[in-house]
Amino acid sequence: MIAPGFAGVEAQLWLLLLAMIRPGAAFIAAPVFGAAAVPVQLRIILSMAIGMAALSSVHFTLPADGLASFAGIALIGGEVVAGLSLGFALQIGYSAAFIAGESIANAMGLGFASMVDPLSGNSTAVVGQFLSIIATFLLLAMDGHLLLIRYIIASYQALPPGGGLMPAAVFQSIAAFGGSMFAMGAVIALPVTFTIILVQLVMAMLARTAPSLNLFSVGMPATLLAGLILLAVGAPVMGEAITQALRSSLDMVQTLSGG
């Protein structure tokens, strides 16, 4: 026989589990929170705290047959899709720095130089790793992680649990915004890549005027040196472009959350 004080424990545990789904899915897809170096236990605690606070602000009842029923599975699927959409929208602007880094590394001749990215656990170009570190600092400096949590909580008002999947227009807007990721990456890399192309054109003209010149022994160090100098000179401009990309992503997250 269950004691009267523990009669509603099972329902509270199901609510606790449900509250963790949307923030947890958003943290998996979002930058910084979804990094491989972030302990899973920390993400679970954050998801629990944010989910319970957000779920208490809306009126919600569990399906009559429980979460193991068809209605419960549809409810969980809607929460997962909503969370992944919010986190992925922020990840798009963050990934623009990786695209810019790959473009700059290939133009400098450092496409073969790679290292393990601690955020994703994958191998990436060293320039892309440098720009991703800048993007992480800028995201934290502009309180992007706090804004993401705020928009996750606000999404419960626009799309409460059990309200169905997001409209098709939302996924179309995410796809259209994802297409702009390559444009944002090109804007970030433009100050460096354009100048490196000019340096390579100069080296090509030198090779035509002096055929005996060993282009590989002169062009590679010159391009690499020019790229390093341009990265140091153009860092403020590239930082502003990365900040604009992150702001666009946060605006997209705010639009998806209905805030």
Q: pLDDT tens across 219-249, in order?
A: 677 777 888 888 888 888 888 889 998 999 9
Q: Check pLDDT > 80 for residue 41.
A: yes
Question: How far apart (Å, rounded) are the C-alpha atoms in residues 109 and 113?
Answer: 9
Question: How far apart (Å, rounded) are the C-alpha atoms in residues 41 and 241?
Answer: 34
| 122 residue type, one letter | N
What number of H helices and E strands is found in the chain?
9, 2
Average pLDDT over residues 190-200: 82
Total tally of structural domains belonging to the chain: 1
Distances (CA, A) of 248 to 35, 45, 67, 256: 21, 28, 36, 12
* Residues 26, 83 contacting (CB under 8 angstroms): yes
State the pLDDT at residue 44.
Answer: 86
Sign, CA torsion 188/193/198/201: negative
State the pLDDT at residue 111.
Answer: 64
* Residues 230, 59 contacting (CB under 8 angstroms): no
State the pLDDT at residue 10.
Answer: 65
Q: How many residues does the chain have?
A: 259
State the pLDDT at residue 117.
Answer: 59
The DSSP-derived string for 78-91 is HHHHHHHHHHHHHH
Range of the domain at 205: 4-257
User: What tokens does 49 get?
Assistant: 């705290």
User: What tokens does 198 get?
Assistant: 């000019």
**Predicted confidence band of residue 133 (pLDDT cuts 50, 70, 90):** confident
Average pLDDT over residues 3-7: 51
Question: How far apart (Å, rounded) are the C-alpha atoms in residues 216 and 147?
Answer: 49
The DSSP-derived string for 104-117 is HHHHHT-TT-EEE-
* Residues 101, 125 contacting (CB under 8 angstroms): yes
Q: What is the mean pLDDT of the chain?
A: 79
Residues 6+ apart with CB under 8 A from 70: none
- Which residue do the tokens 């996924």 mark? 171
Average pLDDT over residues 135-153: 89
Average pLDDT over residues 185-193: 84
Q: pLDDT tens across 90-128, in order?
A: 888 888 888 888 888 887 777 666 655 555 556 667 787
Q: Check pLDDT > 70 for residue 42.
A: yes
Q: Check pLDDT > 70 for residue 5.
A: no
Question: How far apart (Å, rounded) are the C-alpha atoms in residues 156 and 139?
Answer: 24
